[in-house]
Structures are given as C-alpha cells and as structure tokens.
Structure 1
Amino acid sequence: MSINHIVTPLDSAYLDSKSQYVFYHKMVDFALKELIVTAQHNQLCTTQEIIFFKQYADLLLYSIEAMRVKYMYDEEENMKVDLTESGFPNYLEFRYLFNDLSLKENYVNKLKDVSELQEEFLDSLLRKKEPVSRTKLFQAASIMYYTSVEQKFIFNRFVQGKIIKAPEGSEGAFMTSWSFFDVGCNRPFVCYMYFDFEGSTIDAVKELVYEVLKTTADREMNLDVMAYGIDRKLKDIKPKHIKRIDLGPFHNVFAKDENLITHTILESIAAKDVPLESYALSLKIDEVTSGGEFTEGGYFSKQTLQRWNQPVNKSYVLAPHRIIQLLYSKRPEIMNGLEKPPIQIADLQNSVGSRQ
C-alpha cells in the first residue's frame, strides 16, 4: 500500500442525526443528477462518455443511499464526510460498506423476524400511542440494508468498464472507461481511453488491459505520466486519447476544507446571505492526445511508444444562479480562470435542512 492510500478518521466530519443524513443524501443526489444533465447539455462529454459517466454516478449514488440506510438510526456509528477538499463521504465509508456486505449472510441470520418487528411497531403506534423506539427503527433499517443492498453495486476504489468499439470519428478504434476513488484527495474520477490495437483479437488482451489500468491508472497523477505508464505496459495497445474527469470538490455546508469556493459559501451561509442548502460543484477535465510515436529500448527490447502532446486542463464550476453571483462578487479571480463562465444549475429546494 502506498502512502497515497492512507486515510484517517481525522480527515472527516461526522453526520450525527437523521435529518443530516437525509439532507446530505438529498444534496449529493441532486448535485450529481444536475451534473449528468449539464455535462451532456454543454457537451463536456460525448454521448457514449455520458452513458458511462451516468453508470459510475449511479454506483456512487447507490452507495451513499446504502450509507444513509445503514447509519440513520445507528446510535454507535456515524457516517463521515471528508474534509480534504472533497465534500464526498470519506473513502473509509465505502471500504467499510463493501467489507460489511461481504459478511451479510452472518448478519441476516441474526436479524429479528420481520413479522415480529411489524407487530412491535403496531403495538407502539396503535396500542401504546407512542413513537417507535430508535432501537426498533435501527433493527428495521438493518433488515432493509442487509436484505436489499448488493455488494456488487458499491462504488469501490477502482471500477472497470468494458472495452467497446469507439464511436465513429474517435481518435482510436476502441475505447474503454474506468473510475476510481482517489484516497489522497478523496474524490471520484472517471476516465476514458481511446486506442488502436495491433493484435489479432481484442478479447485475448482484455484482462491484461483491465489489470494494467487497475495498477497504473487508479489514482490522481499527471495525465501524461499515466498515459506513458499504460502505453509502456501494453505492447499491442496504442493509446491515442485519454480523458479524465475529476468530480469535486463538492462545496456545501457539510464540507469544511480550505478551498476558497467552499469558504465563500460557508461564510455566506453563516451570514445568512444564502440559504443552508446552497452548493456548488467544481469539475476538472484533463485530456492528453498522442502526437506521434518513438522507439525506446535496445536491440532486443525495442518498443514503439506514443509521444504525448502537452495535456489540456480545463476547470469548470457548476452552481445555482445566486451562488454564481456570489462567487463573481467575492472570488472573481477564480471565476475568470475557468474554461467557460460558470454553468448554471438548479437550486436545491430543501425542506429537511431548513434553519431553526
């Protein structure tokens, strides 16, 4: 395990109430769905890239919903939101969830019978005229969690997509995608690679390609370094275009990082200039393309590799209209440095996290 894979609970803030779990999940769900629509509408991704992007976003949303169900009535454990310029759940939460579900059969056998728990609910509500206890609510949530959540749909540290024929007009004959959750910055990334293949059949090297991507392209790094690492390990594969989307930070009331956009939103929420549900989402898209080839190695170990062009880095901010105005007013240097003016997305209509 490299130092980039080390995380600690000190990097996180705790969600400690039912309303916070509901509110946080609503915010993440809403922001990611807005992102999918916006990316397509503003042509930040191709049609095929959007399809893959939505699949990875669905895994992320499924996992966060599973966390909400698991933790909402648990009085001993709390879900943690990352503080290191992320705004997403701490990576440990995904790891705990995945490991916990691998033991689900052991837990299911220990759960109270559903009919018995239903009788206890009815007894409390109808006969005793009192609220159902948190203990019983936790038991019900546990039944729902362990009997309905599937481990295979949990967003893991690395998620591999399939190799398919690239759409017409692409810079390679084939394309593949993958997603990873970088432990260092605690954010999800989605990547695409377009490539040519010089072997007889692509099926013969698929598993090798997947293994190389998992070991070489599973963390944030300079994109040309990633491209060279992939190219060097796959002799029959000629990468032509690699694209990486960095999701985040997700700027919201639960984030407490040092990011200037996050600070601006938090200060304005504290001053009651903007509502509690105010948010913004940063997005970075890096791309690198092949500009030719060169030969590396000696006479017996000669290999043709790609000569990569300078990576192109583009930054975007997605936010509701009021937050865009706020950021232009207080952080014009950030707004003026974006690839294009901030992209307007919808306000979150909040009925859960309202001020008291």
Structure 2
Amino acid sequence: MSINHIVTPLDSAILDSKEQYVFYHKKVDFALKELIVGVQQNGLCTPQEVVFFKQYCDLLLYSIEAMRVKYMYDEEDNMKVDVTDSGFPNYLEFRYLFNDLSLRDNYLNKLKDVSELQDEFLDQLLRKKQPVKRDKLYQAASIVYYTSVEQQYIFNRFVQGKIIKAPENSEAKFMTSWSFYDVSLNRPFICFMYFDYDGNDPLKEKDDIYETLKAVADRKMNMDTMAYGIDKRLKNVYPKYFKRIDVGAFHNVFAKDDNDLTHTILDAISKKEIPLEAYALSLKIHEVYTGGEFKEGGYFKKQILQNWSTPIKEGFVFAPHRIIQLLYNKNPEIMNKLAKPPFQVSDLKIK
C-alpha cells in the first residue's frame, strides 16, 4: 500500500480495500491504547479523570471496530476518514452507524440463516476448491455486525457521564464528565466540570445539568465562553474548574491535512525514511478556573456568577522515539512550544 493508493475526494480519505481497513483500524486501535497509558503515566489527568478518559476512548474504539466489520466487504459504500485536521473517521460515519443499528431487526430478517451460509462456505471451499465470493463474505460480516454490535455503545455526537462526588483535595465537591465529537473538526473531545451545589444532592437536578451541558458544551469553543454559558443557565450549580481534552490530530498516512507534523510524517514515509505504520498523536488540554464571583441581573432578580481566569492552553505530542527525532529535526519551533517534551510511545509493527 502506498500513499497514492488512498483516494481523497474533498476532505475525506476513502478506505476501499480489505487491506486498508485492517491497516487503518490497527493503527487507530494501537495509537489510542498507547495514548490512554501515556496520559496516565505522565500525570495529565487525575486517577478519576483517567477512568473516564479510558471509558470514552473505549467507546470510540468500539465504534471504529464496528465500522471495520460493517464496511469490510461492502462493495456499495466505503468508510471515510477525515483528512482536514483529524485522521479519525468522519463524524457522519458514527451517525450512519447509530441510525443503521436502529434498523437492526429489519436487516436481520433479510439475512440468510447462519447454518445455510456456513454450508455454502464449506461447499465453496471444500468441494469446489474456490475462495468464498465477496458478496458471501459481506453477508457473513453483516450477520456478525447486526448480531454483536450494540447501539448504546456507539460513540455519539454527545456522550454524558454521571455526576459523582469529586475526589478529596479537588477544586469542588462534585464533578461530572462528558464527551463530544466535534462535527466540524471530526475529533473527539473529553471534558470535566468540577462544581459546588446549593443543596445536598445535585442529582435532584441532574436532568437540567445534563441538558445544559448538551446544549452549551457540545462543540469546541472558548473555554471561558463555555463556562459562562453553563454557569448562567444553572442557578444552583457553581462551577469552579473546567478541563477539556482535545484528542488529535492523528498524524499518519491516512491524514492529508495542512498540519506541519502530518506533512513531516507523510514526506518521510514517501521517501521511505520511516515505515508506513509511523504515527504521532497530538493532544491539547485547555483549563479554566473560577476567579471570584459577581452579581448579574436587575434589582429583583440577581444571579451570582463566576469570574473566569484566562484559559490555560497546553499542547502535547505522543510518538515513537524515531518519530520524535524526526519531528524535532524538521519542526523544532513547534516541538519547543509544547507544554512538555514529547511523550514516547511504542512503535506499531504490522507484518
């Protein structure tokens, strides 16, 4: 497989062969698992945040694996990977997957019985001594897909976490998390809110809290703007600290964006200086803290709101040792601006 074999109409790369599906999904699976370990080992999240971070990444991995099964032998449609500044599947792929699984029963009724399909496979392989036809493989993949993939585990545009008591020595008494897939950037974001509550149990207002987060914080925006929007709509909730993790871009052979790190890796791959499996993963963490309170509103209706600090913005890169050397050599100005030196992760080796 070469870079030129990956078709890229507009802003998506289309995976149009079994080999490309296998290759891409191994890369994403491997990189995200390395990221989870790297985030924990390098203290970028608290132990409780790491638990939530892993859960959201697991949903993402589950969804991408479901896409692999769904599209593996599909001759009519191909999966699209965003190439603008992402490297992850296009958001519409998650939407198609979710909607498709809503019609699970309709599709299952149209598929052949498993035993009948097994007999056809055995006849083709043992009696006729011929490979199984692609349409039969697609039928088998469809059976696996519709009988094993659960809609509730698909990474949706917005995924809400539970409200829990914050760990000791936290900025506030309670915390919650949520994740969203930004439809313009095609990247996953994972967020945390630490807050106090005017009362004993914020779960009494959990529906209002969840609805507010979904309405106000389901896309990338300035952190102080997001914090003010949430604070203003929830009168009994007093946010104290927000943290947002931007996962991506995923710099690899399937990405063809304007990102300098991506171009460096693609150029080195084309010159065969590094293998096709080479990758790097950017990660950005934005934080904002409360800086006191102020009152807003008229004489008869005032609301206490939070002043917010200037957002803290930090960038990180995870990459194997050889790629770190390459990026420092070609993009020293970018690498030197990172919050910390690049975190080394394992090489991916695909035979």
TM-score by structure 1 length? 0.95
Structure 1 residue 13, shift from structure 2 partner = 1.1
> C-alpha deviations, 1:201-241, integer Å up to 9, x for none?
32210110000000000000000100000000000000000
Structure 1 residue 199, shift from structure 2 partner = 2.5
Partner of 1:30: 30
Partner of 1:302: 302
Partner of 2:313: 313
Partner of 2:216: 216
Structure 1 residue 64, shift from structure 2 partner = 0.3
**Is 1:113 equivalent to 2:113 in the alignment?**
yes
**Is 1:286 equivalent to 2:305 in the alignment?**
no
Partner of 1:181: 181
Partner of 2:160: 160
Partner of 1:83: 83
Partner of 2:94: 94
In 1, distance between residues paired with 2:283 and 2:239? Answer: 24
> C-alpha deviations, 1:260-294, integer Å up to 9, x for none?
00000000000001000000000000000001101
Q: Which moved more, 1:296-305 or 1:156-165?
A: 296-305
Structure 1 residue 176, shift from structure 2 partner = 0.1
In 2, distance between residues paired with 1:233 and 1:200? Answer: 19
TM-score by structure 2 length? 0.97
Partner of 1:347: 347
- Partner amino acid, structure 1, of 2:181: F
SS of 1:205's partner is helix
SS of 1:109's partner is helix
In 1, distance between residues paired with 2:317 and 2:118? Answer: 47
**Is 1:129 equivalent to 2:161 in the alignment?**
no
In 2, distance between residues paired with 1:10 and 1:89? Answer: 14
> C-alpha deviations, 1:92-120, integer Å up to 9, x for none?
00000000000111000000000000000
In 2, distance between residues paired with 1:87 and 1:309? Answer: 32
Partner of 1:5: none
CA RMSD of aligned residues (A): 0.7
**Among the aligned pairs, what percent are the same residue?**
72
**Is 1:202 equivalent to 2:193 in the alignment?**
no
SS of 2:229's partner is helix
In 2, distance between residues paired with 1:209 and 1:158? Answer: 14
> C-alpha deviations, 1:298-319, integer Å up to 9, x for none?
1122000001111100000000
**Is 1:269 equivalent to 2:272 in the alignment?**
no
Partner of 2:239: 239
Partner of 1:3: none
In 1, distance between residues paired with 2:93 and 2:184? Answer: 14
| Structure 2 unaligned regions, length at least 5 | 1-8
- Partner amino acid, structure 1, of 2:93: E
Alignment of 1:3-22 (within 5 A): 10-22=10-22
Structure 1 residue 10, shift from structure 2 partner = 3.4
Structure 1 residue 11, shift from structure 2 partner = 2.2
- Partner amino acid, structure 1, of 2:218: D
SS of 1:212's partner is helix
Structure 1 residue 200, shift from structure 2 partner = 4.2
- Partner amino acid, structure 2, of 1:163: I
SS of 1:170's partner is coil
In 2, distance between residues paired with 1:254 and 1:231? Answer: 40
**Deviating 4+ runs (over 4 angstroms):** none
- Partner amino acid, structure 2, of 1:237: V
- Partner amino acid, structure 2, of 1:69: V
SS of 2:38's partner is helix
**How many pairs align?**
343
